[in-house]
Structure 1
Amino acid sequence: MTKVPLTIRIEESEMKILKAFCDQTGRTQTDVLREAIRKLKIKPC
């Protein structure tokens, strides 16, 4: 699967939450965000 770069802008408070979560779980920011995206549900048309 081809990987493409993704740039997002988030609030500083959201970044603190992400960093704290990554520190607690020992996971990378990329890994955490990939999992979050995969968990998104799409409603059928």
Structure 2
Amino acid sequence: MGKPTNFVTFRVNDLEKEILRNYCEKLGRTQTDVLRELIRNLQKENITLG
């Protein structure tokens, strides 16, 4: 995959932000890394769903 050149911005409430922060902290990963993985997994699921 090439170097990322796009930005996605969206709003979350305080609880959602805290959930993401805690998850990333426990895994030792960045929020960007976790969200990129989520998007890639969505793509894989979409391919299998047709």
TM-score, with normalisation over the residues of structure 2?
Answer: 0.76
Q: Deviations over 1:1-45 (max 9, x none)?
A: 35201101011111000000111011000000000111112232x
Partner SS for 1:39: helix
Q: Provide the C-alpha distance between the structure 2 equivalents of 1:29 and 1:20, rounded to a whole number of angstroms.
A: 10
% same residue: 43
Structure 1 runs of 4+ with >6 Å offset: none
TM-score, with normalisation over the residues of structure 1?
Answer: 0.83
Partner SS for 1:6: coil
Structure 2 counterpart of 1:22, from 13, 21, 24: 24
